[in-house]
Amino acid sequence: MSICGTTTLTPPEMTAAQPSLAQLPGLPRDQGGPVFAEPWQASAFALAVSLSRQGHFSWKAWAVALAEELKASSARGEPDNGSHYYHCWLTALERVVVAKRLSDKAALLACKDAWADAYRRLHRKISTSTPRFIGHFAFGTQF
């Protein structure tokens, strides 16, 4: 598996109970396996693999849930160029997690909100504390 072209993990070993990644429709990949444009995509991928390995759902059931979400995405008119693949992956994962009662919609929403708040706080902190250089003067820093 790779993130932005840099190998970070080895592909999971699949057993007879867990078919190969080739069964997943439209999985972005290169010769080394799945590829990810952003770290959250790798995390969502790893979570689905882990939950399947723990027996919460079969890999076949996961492939079906993902295929259903990809079909729904296409029906909504989203481009079929891979740019929405992991958004579909995450939506399907949330649906399966709720259906299997591993979590509930309220808890997932609370977690999303907490991550969004943390991102906004971090972005605000970075944007207000980063020095801005104009000529020979640095604005936003204390001297």
How confident is the model over 19-45, as pLDDT tens digits? 466 666 677 777 777 788 888 898 999
Do residues 46 and 72 both lie within one domain?
yes
Residues 117-141: pLDDT tens digits?
A: 888 888 777 766 655 555 554 444 4
- DSSP for 73-134, written as a single string: HHHTT--SSSTTHHHHHHHHHHHHHHHTTSS-HHHHHHHHHHHHHHHHHHHHHHHHHS-EEE
Residue 32 lies in a domain: yes
CB atoms within 10 A of CB 113: 10
Do residues 16 and 40 both lie within one domain?
yes
Do residues 67 and 40 both lie within one domain?
yes
Residue 141 lies in a domain: no
Do residues 71 and 120 both lie within one domain?
no
Residue 136 lies in a domain: no
Q: pTM higher than 0.95 for the full model?
A: no
Do residues 25 and 50 both lie within one domain?
yes
Do residues 85 and 114 both lie within one domain?
no
Triad 86, 21, 8: Cα angle to 5°: 65
Do residues 112 and 79 both lie within one domain?
no
- pLDDT for residue 8 is more than 50: no
Range of the domain at 7: 2-99
Q: Which residue's entry shows tokens 């605000």?
A: 124
Do residues 18 and 44 both lie within one domain?
yes
CA pair distance 41, 43, nearest whole angstrom? 5
